[in-house]
Chains A and B, each alone.
Chain A
Amino acid sequence: MAHGHKSDEKVVFVGDSRVKKNNHPNIPPDYTSFPGKSEAFIPNFLLKEWMVGCVVLVGFLVWTIAEPAPLGYPADPTNAAFIPMPDWYFLFLYQFLKYPYVSQDYIVLGTMGVPGVMFGGLLLAPFLDTGKERRFYRRPIASSLMILSLIATVYLTVISWDHYQHQLEITNTIPEHHIREEKAREAAAKGEEAPSTTKKPETAAVAIVEADDPAHKLMEQSKCLTCHAADMKGNPPQIPALRGIGDVLSKEEIVATVTNGNGNMPAFKDSLSAEQIDQIATWLSKQKAAAE
């Protein structure tokens, strides 16, 4: 029986278990006979790595404190004005799918064809590039394909970002998380609580004053109410309600806002005459909660 305590047994087990009794001293191996200045991973190299890791971690912490993670306003599926934007590492694909021959009728080529070949090639690189040579400058085909793909990816990402910035500019949009942060900062400067983003301000109680005024019709035609809603309740906090706007803004301020725009609000000086703007502003300035 292998589990006895006879000293001439070649293999001795612990008790009746299958664990072999171990008499080897617990000495880490020596790497000095290895070529070059090899050193042990544990503890020599790992200790140095941990020191670098700590520096990286502190840097990372400072970054997260200096730059808070962005958060916009709650998802609103009816918000038609929002410019969708994926995370930056998907931008190259997002931009790629905007080009002709890889979109619309050729979308299959854009979603499956080209990315399939590129990522498939990358996945199977060891089986496509089977030569023994490892140095990149002796593998011109593999290296140049990779460098070309890199340039293309960077180019597409930059173009996509530029395009987004341009879109923000022409639609006069400030990204929501910036607006939100700015509002919170203003509130903090005044010593107030940050404005709530989850509850819409109660506007239902305020009635529309003189709803049969011709300015009401004009506002519908000039697309004011496309954003500010047909019932003039807007979509707070991004788009303010126009009911009760007379309590917030004076007639002159309304004229200025409609003429020149403000934040997300486009300027209407090209599409409306000064008289029309004045007509609208006069009516809007009458929109006060306590008018009756």
Chain B
Amino acid sequence: MFKSVYNWIDERLDITPLWRDVADHEVPEHVNPAHHFSAFVYCFGGLTFFITVIQILSGMFLTMYYVPDILNAYASVDYLNHKVAFGGIVRGMHHFGASLVIVMMFLHTLRVFFTGSYKAPREMNWVVGMLIFFIMLGLGFTGYLLPWDNKAYFATKVGVQIAESVPYIGPYIGQFLYGGDIVGAQTLTRFFAIHVFFLPGALLAMLAAHFLMIRKQGISGPL
């Protein structure tokens, strides 16, 4: 049944090469922990992606309850965290997953660095990877404000004050992030939009580039 449906679509659209390009690649012995246990260091990139998928999914569920305005933001998080069935787990996964992504990405970066995998011909992939790193830090910074408790409020205030101390463009960065002169209603909606739309959009584009490049070039050879 599935096969005939698949063949029917494949005959018309020739979809097999599309996914075969992604699916058909070999996993060499030197990166396979089943053969060399120390090769587990090659898993950090995949784990980063795995946690990122968890972040996207849990984040999608959080937005079902979260209200990005200063009167209701805290109350909606409070409600989600303490009243909604399994809401605490969803928020917990998003909260701790944010830290876990940073940890995994950090380990992945170190693996790539110490195995010299960023060298020619993979320079561009390293640069894209670093951009992903910065996007993740931006996601962490903007997401921290959203629960709108004191910790969120004052950390964001300090963070934007640091950004404001940049010469010449600092005040403009501050104005852009605040959406005014203080951390307030505008800041919250801005951070929400950046956290939920702008940065994830950029992240997905960068991830696509990251994966296309590694698929095209293959994983770096044994040392």
Contacts and interface: CB of A to CB of B under 8 A. Distances in A.
Interface of A: 14, 17, 19-22, 26, 28-29, 31, 34-42, 44-45, 48-49, 52-53, 56-57, 60-61, 63-65, 67-77, 79, 82-90, 93-94, 97, 107-108, 110-112, 119, 122-127, 129-136, 139, 142-143, 146, 150, 175-177, 184, 194, 197-198
11 contacts: A19-B14, A37-B29, A39-B26, A45-B32, A74-B148, A75-B148, A77-B153, A107-B165, A111-B165, A132-B119, A133-B116
B200 to A, nearest CB: 18
Contacts of A70: 95, 151
A36 B159 contact: no
A67 B92 contact: yes
Contacts of A125: 113, 118, 126
Nearest to B16: A26
A61 B81 CA distance: 15
B75 A139 contact: no
B34 interface: yes
B50 A53 contact: yes
Contact of A143 (B96, B102, B114): B114
B150 A73 contact: yes
Nearest to B72: A198
Nearest to B157: A84
Contacts of B159: 86, 90
Contacts of B78: 71, 197-198
Nearest to A108: B167
User: Does more than half of chain B's interface fall in helix, strand or loop, or is it mixed?
Assistant: helix
A22 B14 contact: yes
A72 B14 contact: no
Contacts of B94: 69
Given A67-B96, A74-B148, A198-B75, A86 B165 contact: no
Nearest to A74: B74
Interface in B87-126: 88-89, 91-100, 102, 110, 113-120, 122-123, 126
Contacts of A127: 123
Interface stretch (B137-145, B190-198, B204-212): B137-145
Q: How large is the interface on B (under 10, 10 to 19, 20 to 34, 35 or more residues)?
A: 35 or more
Contacts of A90: 137, 140-141, 159
Interface of B: 10-14, 16, 23-30, 32, 34-35, 43, 46-47, 50, 54, 70, 74-75, 77-78, 81-82, 88-89, 91-100, 102, 110, 113-120, 122-123, 126-127, 130-131, 134, 137, 140-141, 144, 147-155, 157-159, 162-163, 165-167, 182-183, 220, 223
Contact of B30 (A17, A36, A124): A36
Closest 10 interchain pairs by CB?
A134-B116, A64-B92, A36-B29, A75-B153, A126-B123, A84-B154, A69-B95, A72-B149, A42-B23, A31-B26
A126 B153 contact: no
B32 A37 contact: yes
A89 B139 CA distance: 12
B166 to A, nearest CB: 6
A57 B97 CA distance: 11
Contacts of A77: 153, 182-183
B186 to A, nearest CB: 14
Contacts of A61: 89, 93
B126 A176 contact: no
Contact of B12 (A19, A69, A93): A19
A229 to B, nearest CB: 17
Contacts of A139: 116
Contacts of A21: 11
Contacts of A48: 34
A41 B24 contact: yes
Contacts of B167: 108, 112
A88 B30 CA distance: 34
A64 B119 contact: no
A36 B186 CA distance: 58
Contacts of A39: 26-27, 32
A287 B166 CA distance: 52
A177 B151 contact: yes
Contacts of B91: 69
